[in-house]
Chains A and B, each alone.
Chain A
């Protein structure tokens, strides 16, 4: 009985292979988006772990010369023999086949944490640097380019592209004297009683030690949220497809029950069938997710590198963890989607007729419940944002609002359609609106999916676009000098100054010192009073005569991060006694900043001299070239404002391509959901359409009305998605961003983008409705006639 029952159930799919395909495809797509995003996240996290790696020395402090010069081997040996546990790092550029690589030489024997006894958290030194196997370790993609260097090269997936790692002896030979000891890594576990550090050296914590994983957390939470949303949308498809399959197989179920198959057995069979589909689709989805991740990862890698300086390898490795999680999501999703259908099956009386009208009436009763649940979700979101802190609060708010809004959708659409119905003139129009409203319960899941997809699109693209616009505008203001110069020693400053003064229109020194404000590290800057700043500095809030007051030494400017952290407004007093004159935006910097006048700075920090200069000039390229030639500066000593801006824009464009790809994918998933819902309804609606056809409306006209209905429902949903999307963008910018970075971004509207999205949605809805409509237009008249002869 079980076997024949199973084959009876399965026969449905053999007769409707397309339906099977949509079910599998929907589930696979949902799983694919989810697991693709998870794969990207997992890869990035693994990279961060590896990136606190040997190359940078992770978060370990560095010892360098006060005068900025490199260290000699003798200096290293002297420090070691005095008891200091330090390990040398040598860096230089190695050129091979026209490509430049950063070669880092380290000393594996003295690297902190190399001994198991030492309790440092430093990442392990990779093997194969010393001994007979000694080789240059390179990313697998780079290894091929290095075939003609005079050293063995070994591919190592732990390396980042463009960066090579070798033992210091090998690095010294390959760099031919260009390599010097740039700095020494200082072990956190120093022996007791070592002598004081000689005055020629200083220890600093590297600038990029701000915890990358914390900074990038919001980026990954964004991605995860996107993945979860895609999955939710995909589950709507599965809901639609299983609903359709149950609907169409009612007769089969009845027959099987009538033949004596117990309900429990039938339920078991159906569950087994769905479980099988879930596993097949889940596996396909994970594989597809791998492809998606592989396609997106290079762009994500570039974004992360550009925004946060976080290196991720850009190469995907299959991790068993997301195979498991992908399959689990597929099974869980199928269960959620099918539970309603299973309950209906369990309650199905042996001899009943399912009537769509009855379903709609019943739905009217549940509308109030839906509305209540929606309110509960919104309230829950608000509660979370009120009770919890940080990113969790932001995303809790987002989830609550989105789900609440989605659940409200059927109620709102129903009200709108009822309004249209009362306003409609003529029988056909009235029937059209009434019929649309009746279809709503069957379509509402798909429409919710569309709403979520569109809102997410609007929200995320508004955020990214606002970010881009603000950030580039900010760069224009803040980077007002054409060239930025960094000098390594005071001697070099003295040497260069006459040349700078005579060749640049203005030389604006940037002098800074480390300070603490409110117990947290902050940087304090001395600013020369200059028209450039008065014209361009991006002030958010300030006193009227802020620049004169600042020049007179009557107070300080602080950045937005510090102001938010310490709840400071202009007029407040800092712990050092300075009055806050103004607050400026300072995107991309996690630390607090305080700006005072150059004179005040000099009086407070008499030892500090400027090593960085902004140079105003009409001919930045010529000046840069002249400086480069005359003073033999290292490559990173001069920054051209134009290049920096171009680079920032390229980062944003990469981010855009990722979000654009995800947008298209979620929209397609929503389109698929609509298609399946319409297919489901098409079968159920024949009894309603047949009388209208019999009254004289042609099949073609009916099909046209179907198309109009789909498009108009999509338009309505789209209109509702706009405010929801903007709300989403606001939460992202004003809540999530503040929590993640400590600054708030102004929100800009991009109507053109929204129109484009609207048009895209209409096309998707039209395409989704086209096939059912064409089927209706071509339906043989006897099928419609049969409605009247059929008991159903």
Chain B
């Protein structure tokens, strides 16, 4: 139904394969053997539906979890920007402990993309001491001085900030539509084998604030998309990479779709059409199609940066083009994530994530 658990798993596999650096392999040790049974960790269940505000907070008895926010922005001159704020949680054991002995490990990624530059920062922390964490009500998620904190009920209004050595941002968000429960009321099946996660989104944020760039501060406005997901038992280990699209069309509809590349069974696609009132329509494998049209040299590899995306059932045939092809996330586990512009049958804007390149 969506790509995020796959993403995190693949990140983990990448981390294990390349053993990029010890701290991350230490983090990755928490994910070791994810393909097999997740012993001791809680499994998602259809009988326990998603419930708010409880589920805005962390679930330490699940192995992995994230708060994933992306935004398409533009300034008074019409210059386009992208913004990312992500907090990952991974557990080495299905519990939380106070103090340094906490088995919960947190990782934050922040980025700002301009047409000519891409700024990235990363933070790592452990739970138990308050340096990083999340809270359901009143909602807040944070690592160091980065935070996403509610200023009203639930997650309808948020403050968002992060900074790195050469950039930072300070944003306010307010939702103009409902939270969208993915899959079966938030129970999102990932394979015929029964693997599943809890998954909901808030794709209807309006966002405004200040981007602090090395040369100047920029006042921007735009739209943002929050994904929340937690799980214990990710997908199989033959799924090696994916291309994930979130699209906001000028008509007010949203589309989430991804292509997952499996080394044994070939490509698998899935998508969710979200009407402007928030009503979701899920699509099975094959309905959504994405084809690379152009590649660019990014961080020493060939990465597709122009795509054709098709969803014939809704008459969608669009060209998705990276705002800045060099939006490479040079973090512990590296990947491409950046804003895109959409032209064709349904013009709009969105975000693209690609791994495995």
The number of chain A residues touching the other chain, given as a range, is 35 or more
Inter-subunit contact A169/B99 (CB<8 Å): yes
Q: A125-B22, A191-B163, A192-B163 are in contact. Are A73 and B100 (CB under 8 A)?
A: yes
Q: Flag whether A586 is at the interface (Cβ < 8 A).
A: no
Min Cβ gap A81→B in Å is 6
Query: Which of B21, B92, B164, B168 contacts A131 (CB under 8 A)?
Result: B92
Min Cβ gap A448→B in Å is 54
A-contacting 9-mer, from B117-125, B194-202, B290-298:
B117-125
* B98 to chain A: closest residue by CB: A73
Interface residues of B in 220-273 (CB under 8 A from A): none
Inter-subunit contact B331/A115 (CB<8 Å): yes
* CB < 8 Å A-B pair total: 116
Q: Flag whether A314 is at the interface (Cβ < 8 A).
A: no
Q: A114-B23, A168-B100, A189-B165 are in contact. Are A132 and B129 (CB under 8 A)?
A: no
Inter-subunit contact A126/B22 (CB<8 Å): yes
Min Cβ gap A176→B in Å is 14
Q: Flag whether B278 is at the interface (Cβ < 8 A).
A: no
CA distance A115 to B165 in the complex (A): 13
Inter-subunit contact B29/A169 (CB<8 Å): no
Chain B 17-53 against A: per-residue CB contact (8 Å), 1 yes, 0 no? Answer: 0011111011101101000000000000000000000
Interface residues of A in 186-202 (CB under 8 A from B): 189-194
CB neighbours of A433 from chain B (8 A): none
Inter-subunit contact B21/A124 (CB<8 Å): yes
Q: Flag whether B167 is at the interface (Cβ < 8 A).
A: yes
* B100 to chain A: closest residue by CB: A169
CB neighbours of A111 from chain B (8 A): 23
Min Cβ gap A133→B in Å is 7
CB neighbours of A98 from chain B (8 A): none
Q: Flag whether B105 is at the interface (Cβ < 8 A).
A: yes
Q: Flag whether B212 is at the interface (Cβ < 8 A).
A: yes
* B132 to chain A: closest residue by CB: A80
Q: Flag whether A77 is at the interface (Cβ < 8 A).
A: yes
CB neighbours of B102 from chain A (8 A): 169
Q: Flag whether A108 is at the interface (Cβ < 8 A).
A: yes
Inter-subunit contact B168/A191 (CB<8 Å): yes
CB neighbours of B166 from chain A (8 A): 192
CA distance A74 to B98 in the complex (A): 12
Inter-subunit contact B130/A117 (CB<8 Å): no
Residue among A110, A130, A173, A189 with most chain B CB within 10 A: A130
Inter-subunit contact B124/A83 (CB<8 Å): no
Inter-subunit contact A114/B21 (CB<8 Å): yes
Inter-subunit contact B99/A191 (CB<8 Å): no
CA distance A133 to B28 in the complex (A): 12
Q: Flag whether B215 is at the interface (Cβ < 8 A).
A: no
Inter-subunit contact A116/B332 (CB<8 Å): yes
Q: Flag whether B302 is at the interface (Cβ < 8 A).
A: no
Q: Flag whether A206 is at the interface (Cβ < 8 A).
A: no
Q: Flag whether B56 is at the interface (Cβ < 8 A).
A: no
CB neighbours of B21 from chain A (8 A): 114-116, 124
Query: Which of A73, A110, A168, A191 contacts B121 (CB under 8 A)?
Result: A191
Chain A 146-185 against B: per-residue CB contact (8 Å), 1 yes, 0 no? Answer: 0000000000000000000001110011000000000000
Min Cβ gap B136→A in Å is 19
CA distance A348 to B27 in the complex (A): 75
Q: Flag whether A82 is at the interface (Cβ < 8 A).
A: yes
CB neighbours of A73 from chain B (8 A): 99-100, 129
CA distance A238 to B257 in the complex (A): 78
Q: List 19 A-B contacts (CB under 8 A).
A: A73-B100, A74-B130, A81-B144, A108-B22, A114-B21, A117-B120, A117-B122, A126-B22, A130-B23, A130-B92, A131-B30, A131-B92, A133-B29, A172-B100, A189-B165, A190-B165, A191-B145, A191-B163, A192-B167
Chain B interface (Cβ < 8 Å from any Cβ of A): 19-23, 25-27, 29-30, 32, 92, 99-102, 105, 120-122, 124-126, 129-131, 142, 144-145, 163-168, 212, 330-332
